[in-house]
Copies of this chain bind each other. A is one copy, B any other.
Amino acid sequence: MELVNNKHSFSISNHEGVIIEHKQEKAFVYIGKAKENIEQTYGDFDISEKIIEKIPLRQLEINENTYTFKNGDYRLECQIDFKDDEITISHIKMDKEFNRIYFKIASNENEHLYGCGEQFSYLNLKGREFPIWTSEPGVGRDREKLLTYQADLMGVGGGDYYTTNFPQATFISDSMYMLHMDTSLYSVFDFSEKNVTEICVWGTPEKLSIYSRNSFVEIMNLVTEKFGTQPKLPSWLLDGVTLGMQGGTEVVYEKVRQALDCGINVNAVWCQDWVGKKITSFGKRLFWKWEKSDETYPNLEKLIADLKEQNIRFLAYINSYLVEGTDMFDYAKEKGYFVKKNDGQAYIADFGEFHCGTIDFTNPEANTWYKEIIKTNMIDLGISGWMADFGEYIPVDAVFANGKTGKEMHNIYPALWAKCNYEAVQERNKLGEVVYFMRAGGVGSAKYNTLFWAGDQSVDFTLHDGIASTIPAGISLGLMGNGLTHFDIGGYTSLFGNVRTEEMLLRSLEYAVFTPYMRTHEGNRPDENFQYSDTEKSLQQFAKATELRHKLLPYIEKVIEENANTGMGAMRPLFLHYDDEACLDIAYEYLFGRDLLVAPVYEEGRTDWEVYLPEDTWVHLFTKEVYQGGRYTVSAEIGDIPVFYRQNSEFSNLFATI
């Protein structure tokens, strides 16, 4: 990189071109004042602002590494440190009455930008705005669809293209640099303008760093070095499928028997309702008190032991809430373990007919106590993993034990919740054996979360909220250093008459084979939606899919290991390994590891599918037909997802046997 300082201007470039340029008529920094309005409904945040002042700081004074940007009385001072391939802007100071900083980064029409966390709608961010704020992704997520508004009006939130459980103030440019802003504050990355990227932050960030590299692979190495990478997943989880089921001990015995009879390779059952149910007018909800329910699961220990004999694990569920009216809630409340309101009282979250306290992980005592619950009530019981749910609902006006507000902690909370899980598992020496999966995340998650899942898709083929959305989600999460993710086979959310069909379930099944982990979910309304065991055909497809998975196991092990060792995610964008302009815009195909190209069928009623193959020699995994780079339409009946392997893969002998 190059930093050129003049008297009243400066510029920062890498080998691809200018990244930052400040001159009198084109200020790098603006400061502003604005008044925000944040309305929260459960995990849906309606955020808007009115700009009161917005001032370009045109004048510049440079004194060694201290840069002072000014315009009349307005000023911002910062320190800019330059290394070969790294620029850091830090020690940012401005007048207290201002609450917005805007950085202008050079861009151009053809730039491709990726990141900002887990993105469900767009892989390439150019042309749009992306706020950094963890939230429910929403139901519908498409302002062209009525479902989105129905969800809004129901109070669950329809979401938008940018709403995500896992935002991150980081982007990667195909001008071969990564930019990361160190801050937990709300910010907006605005890529909508042709020639400039604007980063707006609602307060003063710690740092803004730009790192130049020579390739996307080098950038991924940097991501791994900066944000960490997830440890290796245990082998038991890679082979076979985990079946999500509820209903109690007897149901589990029965369903497992049926699955095994049908030849399905089951590695675990996942029973969310291990804690029992709570009846509300909305329907059955899990009882958010984290200990086994002897009513729903009598003889749970025996069930777990019996399953283990068949090499099947038992997985459970937990989140960071405790429901009012339980001894755990009362204890935590009395001890002051909950996130608080301004008046020092516990901040009670309303989940519609039940109320909860939220564990404050910045309180070391609370953290220790919650870890004990995980250790004693879950790990010691023989539970091999769980969904560690939620993390996105911290209200802006909450107060934490570390003295910080909800506004500052909102984006950090998911990683703290991950860390609590991590430490519990670590303290029982079960890392690499016990696995928990989270949907919420941010900077810090890669180190502390063993596995992601893509949250609550709708049970349909919509682009922004259905099966398709998990593809850019998996790729983008991987680009931020979180290479291990998966999704609910069959999706989750069924509302307003939108129900899961057999086709929907089977299309997501065939695609799940080529992800780190296969797990089904009954969905929010099990009785109205197609379940894996509803037809013979479906049971057969599950058997066939787990058989395929088993055959691929050596390769999958390698993919997972590579992620742990090098940070190269399991679901990689094509452009990571192919220097091909066309790959830069491909959001719905991915490389599963280095050698498999996967093109999930995400539309209804298809029997063929168009794929783009970058320049290489590709072999269709099922037909063994050989393809060179190009665009092809291939057969894609249900069960025959378009997947290709590289002919010169070291696993090509294995692939040839499929």
Contacts and interface: CB of A to CB of B under 8 A. Distances in A.
Interface of A: 30, 32, 51-56, 71-73, 144-146, 149-150, 153
A53 B52 contact: no
Contacts of A150: 146
| A71, A144, A145, most chain B CB atoms within 10 A | A71
A603 B54 CA distance: 46
A283 to B, nearest CB: 22
A71 B53 CA distance: 12
A54 B52 contact: yes
A156 to B, nearest CB: 14
A489 to B, nearest CB: 31
Nearest to A30: B53
Copies per assembly: 2
15 contacts: A32-B54, A51-B51, A51-B54, A52-B54, A53-B55, A53-B56, A54-B54, A54-B55, A55-B55, A72-B72, A145-B153, A146-B149, A146-B150, A146-B153, A149-B149
A24 to B, nearest CB: 10
Given A53-B56, A72-B72, A146-B149, 18 more contacts: A30-B53, A32-B54, A51-B51, A51-B54, A52-B54, A53-B54, A53-B55, A54-B54, A54-B55, A55-B55, A71-B72, A72-B73, A144-B153, A145-B153, A146-B146, A146-B150, A146-B153, A149-B149
A161 B268 CA distance: 54
Contacts of A53: 30, 54-56
Contacts of A52: 54
A51 B54 CA distance: 8
Contacts of A30: 53
Contacts of A146: 146, 149-150, 153
A73 B145 CA distance: 48
Nearest to A56: B53
A153 B149 CA distance: 11
A617 B529 CA distance: 66
| A32, A56, A149, most chain B CB atoms within 10 A | A149
Nearest to A192: B50
Contacts of A51: 51, 54
8 closest pairs, A vs B, by CB?
A72-B72, A149-B149, A54-B54, A51-B51, A53-B54, A51-B54, A53-B56, A71-B72
A53 B30 CA distance: 9
Contacts of A145: 153
A300 B192 CA distance: 58
A73 B57 CA distance: 12
Nearest to A190: B50
A151 to B, nearest CB: 11
A71 B71 CA distance: 9
A53 B288 CA distance: 49
A149 B148 CA distance: 10
A51 to B, nearest CB: 5
Contacts of A56: 53
Contacts of A71: 72
A146 B140 CA distance: 15
A497 to B, nearest CB: 14
A525 to B, nearest CB: 21
A441 to B, nearest CB: 29
A136 to B, nearest CB: 19
A55 B57 CA distance: 12
Contacts of A73: 72
A212 B7 CA distance: 54
A485 to B, nearest CB: 32
A59 to B, nearest CB: 9
A144 B32 CA distance: 32
A495 to B, nearest CB: 14
Nearest to A74: B72
A54 B49 CA distance: 14
A72 B70 CA distance: 11
Contacts of A153: 144-146
A25 to B, nearest CB: 10
A56 B73 CA distance: 12
